[in-house]
């Protein structure tokens, strides 16, 4: 994990001190940026998150307290701290260095723990895919973006056919292997801007952020079905599994995330016994 540190100081005198402290704290993946003014720092923080900001003597604020307050208001999740006096040759260099080492180490551990908790809260533990909570959040954003830009998005609801029989015949470890393989195949078949989630059991949902036409969305759906149907090697032998699929488009078929999910889910189950992909017109 890259730990991002920013120094706000007109001359950048504290860069060497911060780099040394980060090294002694064991921060291997460190990105250390320097800006001269609070105005520039605010612009950077708005565009890209930073883990900790050290404030020296910026060019555009009357004192450090005002600069720190403005930066805290801009990025409340970022730690904003004053730069020690030893950066300018004052204070007690050894004490300040030891304090910085402890501070950077503690902040790094806090960021690692926070990111781990956020990932656990928003992703499926078995497959690593987005969970329902994260998917619905991304779907709402995609609907708003499509409405604003005049584009079309697609929602695909997939359910594996006969998955219960795999668990019953080969055990839950084999079932878990099938779910992980399916997740990997879906992820590898989509664009970086698309989202795939596991809703639980053997249900997967795909968000195509922007598609040029219904035919394009159908082509992607067919591609996913073919990819899922490829044989899967298990310790007990090789199996093949199919999926049932339903699709809804937004915003032409609605702008309410639960409604779109229910519609795609209903279309998927309507023809599940026939193992055919079903598309909403």
Task: Give the catalytic positions in this structure.
Answer: 202
- Residue (of 81, 58, 78) closest to 68 by Cα position: 81
The H or E element that residue 206 is part of is strand 203-211
Asked if 157 and 264 count as a contact pair (C-beta separation under 8 A), the reply is yes
Question: What span, in angstroms and rounded, lies between the C-alpha atoms of 203 and 189?
Answer: 17
Strand-strand pairing, 232-234 and 203-211: unpaired
In this structure, which long-range contacts are made by residues 112-116, counting pairs with CB atoms below 8 Å and at least 24 apart in sequence?
112/1, 115/1
Asked if 64 and 55 count as a contact pair (C-beta separation under 8 A), the reply is yes
Take residue 8 and report the two structure tokens written for it: 């706000």
Within 81-213, where are the H helices?
A: 93-122, 132-149, 163-170, 172-188
Asked if 58 and 36 count as a contact pair (C-beta separation under 8 A), the reply is yes
């Amino acid at each position: 994990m890259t730990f991002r540190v920013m120094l706000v100081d007109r001359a950048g005198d504290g860069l060497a001190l911060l780099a040394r402290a980060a090294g002694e704290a064991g921060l291997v993946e460190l990105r250390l940026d320097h800006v001269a003014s609070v105005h520039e720092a605010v612009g950077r923080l708005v565009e890209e998150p930073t883990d900790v900001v050290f404030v020296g003597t910026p060019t555009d604020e009357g004192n450090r307290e005002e600069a720190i307050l403005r930066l805290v208001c801009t990025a409340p999740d970022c730690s904003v701290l004053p730069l020690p006096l030893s950066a300018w040759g004052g204070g007690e260099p050894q004490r300040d260095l030891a304090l910085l080492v402890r501070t950077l180490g503690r902040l790094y551990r806090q960021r690692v723990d926070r990111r781990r908790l956020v990932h656990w809260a928003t992703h499926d533990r078995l497959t690593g895919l987005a969970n329902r909570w994260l998917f619905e959040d991304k779907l709402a954003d995609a609907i708003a973006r499509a409405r604003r830009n005049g584009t079309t998005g697609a929602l695909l609801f997939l359910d594996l056919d006969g998955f219960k029989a795999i668990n019953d015949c080969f055990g839950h470890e084999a079932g878990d292997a099938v779910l992980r393989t399916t997740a990997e195949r879906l992820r590898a078949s989509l664009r970086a801007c698309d989202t795939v989630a596991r809703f639980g059991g053997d249900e997967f949902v795909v968000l195509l952020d922007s598609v040029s036409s219904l035919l394009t969305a159908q082509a992607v759906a067919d591609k996913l079905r073919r990819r899922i149907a490829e044989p899967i090697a298990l310790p007990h032998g090789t199996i093949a599994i199919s999926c049932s699929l339903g699709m809804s488009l937004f915003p032409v078929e609605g702008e309410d995330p639960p409604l779109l999910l229910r519609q795609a889910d209903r279309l998927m189950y309507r023809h599940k016994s026939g193992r055919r992909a079903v598309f909403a017109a």
